[in-house]
Structure 1
Amino acid sequence: MSRTKAKGFTLVELLVVIAIIGVLVSLLLPAVQQAREAARRIQCTNHLKQLGLAMHNYHDTFQSFPVGQFNGQQEEDTSQNPNRSTWFIALLPFVEQSAMYDTVKPSMGTSSANTWDANVRNTVVSGFVCPSDPWGGKVGVDGFQGNYLANATHEVMGRWNSKEASMMSGLFFAGSHINLKDILDGTSNTLMFGEIRQSPQENCTIGNYWNGWAMESMFCTVFGVNSPAFDFVPSGAMADNAWRLTQEIPVSPGAMTAYPLRSAHPGGAMVTRADGSVSFLPETINTANLQNLSNRADGNVITSF
């Protein structure tokens, strides 16, 4: 009698096939992740481009950029309402969010922004969210917190409730009324918006658009792009809410605020310049060059990076 050989894989053949598939998957996965990140970066670029256009439309309407934060003093001062309001709120009608603006408008003359309609404050506006940030679209203690901040200064953002606020070198700060003619260095050489990463900590208020108490909606360039330095906070009471990327250190009352450019994009962060163009700033950019980009009228030459 003849015997028929059974068809199928041997154990060795099966292990070889599994190994080959594993190698192929390991080669393919990084490519898939890179493709996804490229798509997210394109979407982030589009968000920042739309914000630049919206800001220019605001300027065309009112002949200046909006106030960085209307008051934001540590003390509640209802005589200067809309207290704690930020540039984000002023920009809402120009990013197709007129309904949100109209809902809170009746409250602007009588109360602080962090007490306005909760449904509006907690509404996530997708155009202000970087899709690469795993914590993007966060709703914090006062409401929606975004990934795009406005350029305040090349120095530490200190003494937000004093005359020194008006001396900041960027485009947005407490009581600011900057217009295009004030940008002496040229709109292509001056930053308007930049990215930050949201904090996983529940009470951290970086990117807070609804309570401009200590310039939470603005960045400075005292630190480099994606700096591992921690964010300073304005008082000892808020020190526990700081998002620290390094070890804990004491923060004394009256400390300054310093929110640097950070992003979840590998190698750098996206920015919008004052002319509305969007570009990618690498982590390797010279700090002096970065600070020159943040200063609207220092007269310094921007070198290549």
Structure 2
Amino acid sequence: MQPFPLNRRGFTLVELLVVIAIIGVLIALLLPAVQQAREAARRIQCTNHLKQLGLAMHNYHDTFLGFPYGQFSGMQRENTNENPNRATWFVAILPFVEQSAMYDIVKPQMGVSPANTWNETVRRTVVESFVCPSDPNGGKVGEDGFQGNYVACAASDNIFQALSVENPSTIPYKGMSGLFFVKSKIGLKDITDGTSNTLMFSEIRQSPQAQCTIGNYWNGWAMESMFTTIFPINNPAAADFVPGSRKVDNPWRQTLGMAESGDGAQTAYMPRSAHPGGVMVTRADGSASFIPETISVLTMQFLANRGDGNVIPSF
């Protein structure tokens, strides 16, 4: 008796192509969702970094009854004897962000030599809590050392690079509108607009260009560890600016005239983020939140000013 013949049949080319097409469509549908989930996780991590930074500042304030200076001294217009280093707020709060070992190593060098010559191992140490996980260039180590993604609020208008030795009253120590600037001595009592209505920190993006020093915590030559809200969030207007000229540096910073101090140019850093649609910030009450890039420049200037008396509109 003949066995019943088995009718074996494989996939046709058309069927195989249809299956591949279906798989491709499913991947195309799922990929954005996966990317969004990853970005959401990175944004949560960035939020946690900024909350911890706000908490560190409040712990510093409780200890010393005020926030640290934004920058210990200015740049070339100050007398050399009064300009031993250009240390920034970052150095001051190292013990409050679980980096006491780093602080203890550089402490003997404070007031003796410029900050960008302090212990190289410490300066080149990347502190992960100061790196936004969404920034592809985050964790950059430049010529002076580690450059981070979080910078302090200096002003709602111009950031002054220097204090004039000839006429110190030209730029009073408390003359800037934010919380951190050269030799700043701001405390919670000075935030008359309310801590929830005042910015403390914002994100910036690291430039892929080696010579760009934004977020430089170890050499406050041009106020690289601070920002101003004079320009919009993620400002595209600086995109054509090139390094080495008066029109300084790509989308990461922009140059202004600086008649206040007599210097020829002023570098201003605006809030920038790798998160789609806006930036993460820390407010003076220690809370972290997301601000959309659709917010008006005027509202951002109100938020950056610690005592202008303006009502913050909804955004």
| Aligned pairs for 1:93-108 within 5 A | 93-108=95-110
Native 8 Å contact 2:145 2:218 kept in 1: yes
**CA offsets, 1:139-161, max 9 Å, x none?**
01100000000000000213423
Structure 2: runs of 5 or more not aligned: 165-169
Give the structure 2 partner of residue 164 of structure 1: 171
Classify 1:20/1:169 alpha carbon distance in 2 versus 1 (closer, same or farther; 3 Å): same
Pair 1:61-2:67 in alignment: no
Q: Specify which of 213, 223, 235 is matched with residue 221 of structure 2.
A: 213
Q: Distance in 1 between matches of 2:238 and 2:163?
A: 22
| Aligned pairs for 1:41-56 within 5 A | 41-56=43-58
**CA offsets, 1:174-226, max 9 Å, x none?**
01000000001000000000000000000100000000111100000001111
Q: Specify which of 281, 297, 301 is matched with residue 307 of structure 2.
A: 297
Question: Which letter maps to 2:53?
Answer: L
Native 8 Å contact 1:204 1:241 kept in 2: no
Give the structure 1 partner of residue 167 of structure 2: none
Native 8 Å contact 1:160 1:215 kept in 2: no
SS in 1 for 2:236: coil
Q: Distance in 2 between matches of 1:241 and 1:217?
A: 20
Give 4+ residue runs of structure 1 displaced > 4 Å after superposition.
Answer: 1-4, 75-78, 248-253
Structure 1: runs of 5 or more not aligned: none
Give the structure 1 partner of residue 184 of structure 2: 176
SS in 1 for 2:202: strand
Name which of structure 1's ranges 67-76 and 194-203 shifts more when overlaid on structure 2.
67-76
Q: Distance in 1 between matches of 2:8 and 2:26?
A: 29
Question: Which letter maps to 2:231?
Answer: F
TM-score normalised by L of structure 1: 0.92
Native 8 Å contact 1:239 1:251 kept in 2: no
| Aligned pairs for 1:1-305 within 5 A | 4-74=6-76, 77-80=79-82, 82-162=84-164, 163-164=170-171, 166=173, 167-230=175-238, 239=245, 242-245=248-251, 254-305=264-315
Once the two structures are TM-superposed, the CA of residue 232 in structure 1 deviates from its matched residue by 12
Native 8 Å contact 1:204 1:242 kept in 2: no
Q: Distance in 2 between matches of 1:168 and 1:15?
A: 66
Name which of structure 1's ranges 12-21 and 77-86 shifts more when overlaid on structure 2.
77-86
SS in 2 for 1:224: coil
Classify 1:293/1:96 alpha carbon distance in 2 versus 1 (closer, same or farther; 3 Å): same
Q: Distance in 1 between matches of 2:78 and 2:45?
A: 38
Once the two structures are TM-superposed, the CA of residue 243 in structure 1 deviates from its matched residue by 3.0
Once the two structures are TM-superposed, the CA of residue 275 in structure 1 deviates from its matched residue by 0.3
Classify 1:149/1:165 alpha carbon distance in 2 versus 1 (closer, same or farther; 3 Å): farther
Classify 1:260/1:186 alpha carbon distance in 2 versus 1 (closer, same or farther; 3 Å): same
Question: Which letter maps to 1:164?
Answer: I
Equivalenced residues, count: 302
Q: Distance in 2 between matches of 1:11 and 1:229?
A: 53
Native 8 Å contact 2:228 2:268 kept in 1: yes
Once the two structures are TM-superposed, the CA of residue 73 in structure 1 deviates from its matched residue by 1.7
Q: Distance in 2 between matches of 1:20 and 1:237?
A: 48
Computed over aligned residues only, the root mean square deviation of the Cα atoms, in angstroms, reads 2.6
SS in 1 for 2:238: coil
Once the two structures are TM-superposed, the CA of residue 109 in structure 1 deviates from its matched residue by 2.3
Classify 1:44/1:18 alpha carbon distance in 2 versus 1 (closer, same or farther; 3 Å): same
Native 8 Å contact 1:143 1:208 kept in 2: yes
Once the two structures are TM-superposed, the CA of residue 237 in structure 1 deviates from its matched residue by 9.3
Q: Distance in 2 between matches of 1:75 and 1:130?
A: 34
Question: Which letter maps to 2:309?
Answer: G
TM-score normalised by L of structure 2: 0.90
Question: Which letter maps to 2:311?
Answer: V
SS in 1 for 2:171: helix
Q: Distance in 2 between matches of 1:84 and 1:50?
A: 24
SS in 2 for 1:174: coil
Once the two structures are TM-superposed, the CA of residue 74 in structure 1 deviates from its matched residue by 1.7
> Between the two proteins, what is the percent identity of the paired residues?
68
Once the two structures are TM-superposed, the CA of residue 229 in structure 1 deviates from its matched residue by 2.6
Q: Distance in 2 between matches of 1:44 and 1:185?
A: 26
SS in 2 for 1:85: coil
SS in 2 for 1:177: coil
Native 8 Å contact 2:43 2:275 kept in 1: yes
